[in-house]
């Protein structure tokens, strides 16, 4: 059945609550209002004791989620915009990510944090940032970014079953995109990249929203493009990415996040460290705050024309 990204997340949450008794939802407006973007709509009616509206304090509610996870629950925390993870950094980075190590493996923190991420909706500079690379830098955190409705539901289920803290960055510009999604419960494995489209001339490694842009580009060029979606940013499935790089001989990495100190640089470095010696480039967001003006905002991340021009240049390189 065809479902939007949001509908798939909502269905996944409902089925998780139905099948995993230790699970519960918490966050600002996740109850009656149905979540910042509607992902939890209708759930409080069927699970009144397990869908909890919270005060506006990301630090506090991340601490609550961490503590309850230590006591055997599997909390699913919604942070309305990933920008607000900055308020929860201490609890997330210094507590949730460290407890398994500090306890010599005796304790775990099986919690999930969902956060709407990225630009493309006119939400301006404080509600449009891409911080996935920040958290990929932290040992003890799993970081995923599903690029479509199918993966969004499946990776959410896998995240809730995982015994580590998992951050799920959901590109909010994709919330209304739709595709066939199974009605039954299923998992998309954490730590496994996906070849979205096979090709032979150039590999595009695209994260999040950039997967759809890459597919558009592939349809507009005679160049045979292979598209690979890492899905999981940490731990990174470098084997799949490197295999595609060796197959095509050229690599272009696309991120919505800025390139400076970004995950694209890490992917590039790891591919080179596997022995890859072909042309390799990366495109990402401009190093500036996201604009509220739609025309400016759309030009701040890699565009189809920019990607096509870069591919054209790469095809001339030996």
Q: 3-state DSSP call for residue 279? A: coil
DSSP string, 180-215: E--SS-----TT--EEEE--SSEEEEE-TTHHHHHH
- Judge residue 19's burial from the number of C-beta atoms within 10 Å of its C-beta, 0-12 exposed, 13-18 middle, 19 or more buried: exposed
Strands 51-53 and 74-79: unpaired
Element (H, E) at 94: none
CA distance to 6, 97, 135, per residue, from 138 (Å): 28, 8, 5
As a whole number of angstroms, the distance between CA 40 and CA 38 comes to 6
Q: Which sequence positions are flagged as catalytic?
A: 127
Element (H, E) at 249: none
Pick from 108, 89, 132: nearest CA to 231: 132
207, 117 contact by CB (below 8 A)? no
Query: Order of strands across the sheet with 23-27?
Result: 51-53, 23-27, 74-79, 112-117, 166-171, 142-144, 232-234
- Judge residue 229's burial from the number of C-beta atoms within 10 Å of its C-beta, 0-12 exposed, 13-18 middle, 19 or more buried: buried
115, 82 contact by CB (below 8 A)? yes
């Amino acid at each position: 059945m065809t479902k939007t990204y949001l509908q798939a997340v909502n269905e996944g949450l409902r089925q998780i609550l139905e099948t995993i008794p230790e699970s519960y939802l918490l966050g600002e407006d996740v109850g009656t209002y149905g979540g910042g973007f509607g992902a939890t709509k209708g759930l409080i009616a069927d699970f009144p004791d397990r869908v909890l509206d919270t005060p506006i304090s990301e630090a506090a509610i991340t601490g609550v989620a961490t503590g309850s996870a230590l006591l055997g629950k599997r909390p699913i925390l919604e942070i309305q915009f990933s920008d607000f993870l900055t308020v929860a950094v201490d609890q997330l980075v210094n507590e949730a990510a460290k407890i398994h190590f500090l306890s010599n493996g005796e304790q775990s923190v099986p919690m999930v944090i969902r956060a709407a991420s990225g630009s493309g909706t006119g939400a301006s500079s404080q509600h449009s940032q891409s911080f996935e690379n920040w958290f990929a830098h932290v040992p003890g955190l799993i970081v995923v970014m599903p690029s479509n409705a199918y993966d969004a539901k499946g990776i959410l289920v896998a995240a809730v079953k995982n015994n580590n803290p998992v951050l799920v960055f959901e590109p909010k510009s994709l919330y209304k995109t739709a595709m066939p999604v199974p009605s039954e419960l299923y998992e998309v494995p954490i730590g496994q990249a996906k070849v979205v489209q096979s090709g032979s001339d150039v590999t595009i490694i695209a994260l999040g929203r950039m997967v759809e842009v890459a597919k558009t580009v592939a349809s507009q060029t005679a160049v045979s493009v292979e598209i690979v979606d890492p899905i999981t940013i940490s731990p990174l499935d470098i084997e799949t990415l490197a295999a595609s790089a060796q197959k095509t001989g050229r690599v272009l990495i696309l991120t919505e996040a800025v390139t400076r100190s970004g995950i694209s640089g890490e992917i590039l470095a790891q591919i080179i460290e596997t022995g890859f010696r072909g042309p390799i480039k990366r495109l990402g967001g401009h190093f500036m705050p996201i604009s509220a003006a739609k025309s400016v905002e759309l030009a701040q991340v890699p565009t189809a024309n920019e990607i096509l021009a870069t591919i054209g240049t790469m095809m001339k390189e030996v």
